[in-house]
Amino acid sequence: MYIIGYKCFNENLTNKYGFKFEIGKLYTAHGTIKFGNNGNGFHLCKNMEDTLRYFDAFKNSVTIAEVLGSGKIVESFDDYYEYYNMYVTEKLRILKILTREEIINIELELNLDRVERFLSGFKLSKEEIELFKNKFNNNQTILQYIEYYQKGNIDAFIKKRGSYNG
């Protein structure tokens, strides 16, 4: 059994624990495959933007890779935060590193919920912000996400109220 998904790394292809990965090499976890911080195996997400939950792409440069997970696979859902299609696998191979342009182009074509998660977890350049503003210029929620997460406008989600003349 196998699954193709995405995994986020530090810029130098290390994971959160400092383990260095290489493109094309097959990695195997030994022991019981279990999801979570105290789990065992290789975590990946079916949706690229969900990988950002595990790395702070606002403060640090990250690398996002397309990966192949195989062997024993355990699926996890976080209904509370609406993260789905997260997996931990026995084996992992990095298929390719996504360029920044590929990442942006993929996200520009996704549904609104996924774009919102992306905007809340990945720091865009001014030019990239304009791409999203132009694409979603009629969607107030996406524009608010851009204002709040990308531009730091803490008032972005405050409703503007008219005066009451009653």
Split at pLDDT 50, 70, 90, the class of 165 is low
Split at pLDDT 50, 70, 90, the class of 78 is low
Same domain, 51 and 127: no
Q: What is the DSSP letter of 61?
A: -
Split at pLDDT 50, 70, 90, the class of 75 is confident
114 part of a folded domain? yes
* CA atoms 35, 20, 60, 44: torsion sign: negative
Which residue, among 100, 95, 149, has the nearest Cα to 128 in the 3D structure? 100
125 part of a folded domain? yes
Q: What is the DSSP letter of 161?
A: -
Report the helix count and the strand count for the chain, using DSSP H and E: 4, 5
Each residue's pLDDT tens digit, 34-68: 887 788 999 999 999 999 988 888 888 899 999 99
State mean pLDDT over 12-31: 94
Residue 74 lies in domain: 2-97
Same domain, 20 and 73: yes
Same domain, 39 and 81: yes
Is the pLDDT score of 84 beyond 90? Answer: no
Q: 59, 76, 97 — which closes off a domain? A: 97
Residue 33 backbone dihedrals phi, psi, to 5 degrees = -80, 120
- State residue 146's pLDDT score: 97
138 part of a folded domain? yes
- State residue 39's pLDDT score: 83
User: Total structural domains in the chain?
Assistant: 2
Same domain, 106 and 92: no
69 part of a folded domain? yes
- State residue 55's pLDDT score: 85
Quote the strand ranges of the chain, DSSP E. Answer: 2-10, 26-28, 42-45, 62-78, 83-97
Each residue's pLDDT tens digit, 124-152: 999 999 999 999 999 999 999 999 999 99
